[in-house]
Amino acid sequence: MLLIADTSPIISLLLIEKIDLLEDIFPNYLIPEAVWIELNNHNEILSFNDELIKISDKVRTVKNYFPLSGIDIGETEALILYKELSADLLLIDDKRARQTAEIMDINCIGTLAVLYKAKEKKIIKELRPVFNKLLKAKRFYSKSYLNLFLEKAKETKI
């Protein structure tokens, strides 16, 4: 299964020290070059240089770039790379970009779903502490959305 990852989910996973989950759950994931550039220019994750080096071999160049209205270049390249490589999933959290992806018939998954899959596979024991780390790191997930996943996992709501 091939997954293409956008910037925001990678940042979220880095900030909660769970970036290895991508490799554990989706060993064949890739990131477009524009996402790589965004990651390396994002002040919030400068201290994660070692982790970024580990994923540098996942970077791919988009062959047929064209701008998409209303979304940034990293999201655009993620959508295009998904189509170019006939990927299976796009890891993306941004609502507008996800809506654009779904219009393009792209199968999307978000960071919270990756964490949920990690719990299903018993890679992590509980979602709630991980979700609290996301909130503490000022990642923008609504508590009601977090609670949907917690309810599904039969855990106490936030």
Shared domain for 97 and 122, answered yes or no, is no
pLDDT of residue 68: 87
Dihedral sign from CA coordinates of 137, 138, 141, 147: positive
pLDDT of residue 65: 87
Judged by DSSP in three states, 137 sits in: coil
In a domain, 124, yes or no: yes
Cα separation, 52 vs 47, in Å, equals 10
DSSP, res 19 = T
Which residue stretches of the chain have pLDDT < 70? none
pLDDT of residue 67: 87
Shared domain for 88 and 122, answered yes or no, is no
Which residue range is the domain that position 127 belongs to? 113-152
In a domain, 157, yes or no: no
Two structure tokens written together for 144: 């009601």
Return the exposure string of 33-43: e unless at least 16 CB atoms fall within 10 Å of the residue's CB, then b: bbbbebbeebe
pLDDT of residue 140: 87
Cα separation, 125 vs 130, in Å, equals 10
Shared domain for 102 and 49, answered yes or no, is yes
> What is the 3-state composition of the chain as percent helix, strand, coil, each rounded to the nearest 5?
55, 10, 35
Shared domain for 134 and 95, answered yes or no, is no
| R_g (Cα) of the chain, nearest Å | 15
**Helix residue spans in 6-138 (DSSP H):** 7-15, 20-25, 33-40, 49-55, 73-84, 95-103, 111-120, 128-136
Give the predicted TM-score (pTM) of the model. 0.95
